[in-house]
């Protein structure tokens, strides 16, 4: 092959939805995409987002999109307002593109890429599949727009730039008193690990503001005062029901030894705990 | 690249099965396909068809196949009779190909494409993987035939044309009396929406035969007498437990506001209701 | 296209994990792979391996890898020891490559390909994603190594060859007395079929050592003394709760007529039975 820049030749589109795999909805979106651009690589990011949970979808997207090559187009469809007045949007955020309903699902990527962010309202119907249904814009708007975008069209061709896009506040540790903060469980992963709203940067800043490396985390009557070096380390600490570690998403997470921390602690997404940074 | 018609260069094969994702069965089929034609795009349509449910698989296939580019090869394997006398077939139906057991799983596509339908009995063993197992024709017959077909071979090369292929009767509204019809629930989607056997065309014809836009639908003690413009519209009608809308499959479906209509109504696939079109 | 060996041009990477589809972990691995080699075909083999179950993952991999074209790279990540001292390895086994933690997950392929097996300890960090996390080597080590390998690099470039790799003993029929053997259930498939540790070769040898085709298999108070020709054959034998057949994995499996043998027999992975070969 005489391709000089082979990487740019194969565009990537990822899909994140709450469609699950019980229906052919995701497959249909892929059919639409391949009908417009048959050379694209389509990657499923997650289709098991809890139904209608926009913020959890946003977190999953926010903790994943950076691991793809520059130029990747991320499509996210958790869309309880489909068919209503909520707008469809296309965002150019840093080195990535996002195609989604304007309902807050892009809040995490927006926050990360605030310095280089342009959002466009999708209005050019020539890039839609017509007639547009009232129930499945993944098929009729988001998939075809992503596919046309993957052919190299510029984002501004799809509609006017807007500045009043919806950006939800993402959960962060909340200051309670002194050096005590309340955190939230923002995701439970497939292993039952509990991902907290405590990010690596916040944690490091708080620790370094004190004299050492010491903290006390409390949730569901459990007290944790150290980080584990890796998951298997808990095997040698039978007195510890759960451990804490900075997981692959860059957030502090709680885990058990080859068991579900969520079930052991009876803790679920939205529950809160406290973390105290010691002097 | 000197491709003049790039779209034709990348064939698409879709897979619909009841294999779920707990086993590597689907992955194995893909391995066989890629060993024969490594350039194909393979798309999972649905692998969570209720086990052995041929008619529901057929409905899912029938509501999906048209969203793919012309020439797409749809493989469907819900196959309780694997290894017995049931025949394997290849159908050219309109602009699409289907590869499946001859057990009725292609009934919906057959019905849609009756005007341009040719069905062939797969007998040419040189396109099979030998020896043929008694338990996994997805791997040994359907995957390799689809892959060889995707290389451009003509359908008649795979075996003789037949006219006695199995076409099951698909559920349709049944006339009860006057302008009253009984309908069936034919699918429950991942959100708990209930898809009925009432198609858009039938509904429009019945309505226009009357004086207006009026109908009364009854199921599980609920009465519905209007269509909703979109899912979110039910939010402003707290007195309505469920609403009706023409969903993306072209069938009337019953839904709840960000909840499962199936659970709220305690209704399941196969249950029936009535619809009365008013004068 | 002027490709002379088109099949070699599109490398294949398969993924087997216990990550399920509830999280974007698998999608993230694909993003890393496509960032290194955008032309690869990625196939999901299975992501529903029971969490931390290394030997069952190995069985699924062992019963699948051969159905892919020569040169396919199989990545397997069931990795409870991630971040600890367990080594990452790359194996060249027969016509295939494997990339995985050195925790026994490659035991079945090792056993099959013992005659042509080379195992390398992955130490060359230039093929890793840095910094390496303590929780997700699928993303940081196994995916990038597989992707670099798919570009044509030789296995020895990734680290030194080792001979002390971990190979677990795979379950085989255990001799009890005379011609009586104890077997184990090693996998329950999505249909509830129970896959036993009785391989085709062992079974044939034992039968031919006797005078005929006769055996008695006992498990959970059921007695089976013949093989069924195919799944549907049980329909005509209503007195048989379960039947036995050599399934697609090459192992004897127990099945029910369009029902779950596992539930009917209340048998699970790890349970045992006996098989007696008659004179």
Tokens of C95: 């016509």
State whether residue A180 is helix, strand or coil: strand
Residues of chain C contacting B25 with CB distance shorter than 8 Å: 190, 248
Tell me the pLDDT tens digit for each residue of C185-211.
Answer: 999 998 999 999 999 999 999 988 776
Best of A29, A34, A53 to substitute, by most chain B Cβ atoms within 10 angstroms, is: A34
C210 touches A at CB < 8 Å:
no
Range B27-46 average pLDDT: 97
Q: What is the pLDDT of residue A51?
A: 82
Share of chain B above pLDDT 70, in %: 96
Tell me the pairing of strands B12-17 and B73-77: parallel
Identify the pLDDT of residue B164: 97
Mean pLDDT, residues C224-246: 89
Please compute the mean of the pLDDT values over residues C232-250 and round it to a whole number.
Answer: 89
Quick one: average pLDDT of B127-143?
95
pLDDT of residue A168: 96
pLDDT tens, residue by residue, A120-168: 999 999 999 999 998 999 999 999 999 999 999 999 999 999 999 999 9
Chain B nearest-CA distance from A235, in A, is 28
pLDDT tens digits, B101-125:
999 999 999 999 999 999 999 999 9
pLDDT digits (tens, 9 = 90+) for B174-229: 999 999 999 999 999 989 999 999 999 999 999 887 766 789 999 999 999 999 99
- Which ranges in chain C are annotated with CATH 2.40.30.90? 174-277
Q: Pick the more confident residue, B86 or C212.
A: B86
Confidence of residue A213 (pLDDT cuts 50, 70, 90): confident
What is the spatial distance between Cα B44 and Cα B18, in angstroms, rounded to a whole number? 12
Query: Which residues are CB-neighbours of B164 under 8 A, at least 6 positions away?
Result: none
Contacts of B54 in chain C (CB under 8 A): none
Q: For chain A, first and last CA: distance in Å?
A: 62
Residue C212 has a pLDDT of 65
| pLDDT at residue A1 greater than cutoff 60 | no
* Overall average pLDDT of the B1-30 stretch: 79
User: In this complex, is the C-beta atom of A34 within 8 Å of any C-beta atom belonging to chain B?
Assistant: yes
- Indicate the CATH number for domain C6-162: 3.40.50.10790
Number of Cβ pairs < 8 A linking chain A and chain B: 104
Q: Is B10 in CB contact (< 8 Å) with chain A? A: yes
Contact A231 C80 (CB under 8 A): yes
Mean pLDDT of C137-160: 98
Chain A residues whose beta carbon lies within 8 Å of the beta carbon of residue B1: 1, 3
ipTM associated with this complex: 0.93
Pairs across A and C, CB distance < 8 A: 104
Mean pLDDT of A114-119: 98
pLDDT at A8 over 70: no
Which backbone phi and psi does A269 adopt, to 5 degrees? Answer: -55, 135
Q: Does B68 touch chain A (CB under 8 A)?
A: yes
Nearest chain C alpha carbon to B31: C68
Determine contact, residues C163/C126, Cβ cutoff 8 Å: no
Contacting partners of chain B (3+ CB pairs under 8 A): A, C
Residues 161-190 of C with CB under 8 A from B: 189-190
pLDDT of residue A211: 67
Are the beta carbons of A46 and C30 separated by less than 8 Å? no
- Provide the pLDDT for residue C192: 94
A230:C34 CB<8 A:
no
pLDDT reading at B241 higher than 50: yes
Give bridge partners of residue B255 from the DSSP assignment.
B243
Residues of chain C with CATH 3.40.50.10790: 6-162
Cβ atoms of C134 and C81 within 8 Å: the answer is no
The pLDDT of residue B209: 79
Q: Please name the fold of domain A174-277.
A: Elongation Factor Tu (Ef-tu); domain 3 (2.40.30)
Contact A31 B7 (CB under 8 A): no
Phi, psi of C166 (to 5 degrees): -85, 120
Least confident of A35-49, A116-130, A202-216, C245-259: A202-216
Are C135 and A7 in contact (CB < 8 Å)? Answer: no
Chains touching chain A through at least 3 C-beta pairs below 8 angstroms are B, C
Interface contact B84, partner C, CB < 8 A: yes
Question: Would you state the pLDDT for residue A81?
Answer: 87
| Contact check, Cβ <8 Å, A83/B12 | no
Nearest-angstrom CA–CA distance, A4 and C146: 23
């Amino acid at each position: 092959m005489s391709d000089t820049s082979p990487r740019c030749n194969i565009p990537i589109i990822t899909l994140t939805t709450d469609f699950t795999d019980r229906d052919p909805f995701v497959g249909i979106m892929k059919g639409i995409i391949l009908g417009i651009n048959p050379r694209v690589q389509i990657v499923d990011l997650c289709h098991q987002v809890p139904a209608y949970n926009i913020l959890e979808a946003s977190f999953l997207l926010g903790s994943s999109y950076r691991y793809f090559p520059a130029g990747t187009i991320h499509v996210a469809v958790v869309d309880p307002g489909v068919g209503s007045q909520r707008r469809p949007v296309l965002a150019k955020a840093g080195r990535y593109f996002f195609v989604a309903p304007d309902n807050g699902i892009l809040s995490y990527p927006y926050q990360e890429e605030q310095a280089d962010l342009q959002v466009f309202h999708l209005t050019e119907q020539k890039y839609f599949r017509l007639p547009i249904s009232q129930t499945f814009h993944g098929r009729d708007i988001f998939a075809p727009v992503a596919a046309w975008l993957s052919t190299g069209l510029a984002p501004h061709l799809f509609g006017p730039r807007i500045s009043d896009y919806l950006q939800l506040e993402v959960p962060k540790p909340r200051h309670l008193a002194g050096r005590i903060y309340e955190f939230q469980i923002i995701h439970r992963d497939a292993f039952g690990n509990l991902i907290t709203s405590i990010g690596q940067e916040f944690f490091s800043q708080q620790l370094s503001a004190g004299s050492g490396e010491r903290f006390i985390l409390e949730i569901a009557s459990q007290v944790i005062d150290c980080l584990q070096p890796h998951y298997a380390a808990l095997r040698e600490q039978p007195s510890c029901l759960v451990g804490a570690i900075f997981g692959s998403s860059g957030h502090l997470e709680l885990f058990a030894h080859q068991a579900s921390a969520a079930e052991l602690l009876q803790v679920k997404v939205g529950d809160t705990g406290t973390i105290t940074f010691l002097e």
